[in-house]
Homo-oligomer: A and B are copies of this chain.
Amino acid sequence: MTTVHDLTIGQLAERAGVATSALRYYEERGLIGSHRTSGNQRRYEQATLRRVAFIRAAQNVGLSLEEIGEALASLPEGRTPTKRDWHRLSRAWRPRLDEQIDRLERLRDRLDGCIGCGCLSLKACALYNPEDELAAEGTGGVLLEPGHDPEPGDLRRGRR
Q: Known: A108-B101, A112-B91. Is A59-B145 also a contact (CB below 8 A)?
A: yes
Residue in A46, A60, A91, A116 whose Cβ sees the most chain B Cβ within 10 Å: A60
A144, B154: Cα distance in complex, Å: 29
A73 located at the interface, meaning its Cβ lies under 8 Å from any Cβ of chain B in the complex: no
A156, B28: Cα distance in complex, Å: 26
Size of the A side of the interface (Cβ < 8 Å), in residues, is 57
> Chain A residues in contact with chain B, CB under 8 A?
14-17, 19, 46-47, 49-50, 53-54, 56-57, 59-62, 83-84, 86-87, 89-91, 93-94, 97-98, 100-101, 103-105, 107-108, 111-112, 115-118, 120-121, 125, 127-130, 144-145, 149, 151-156
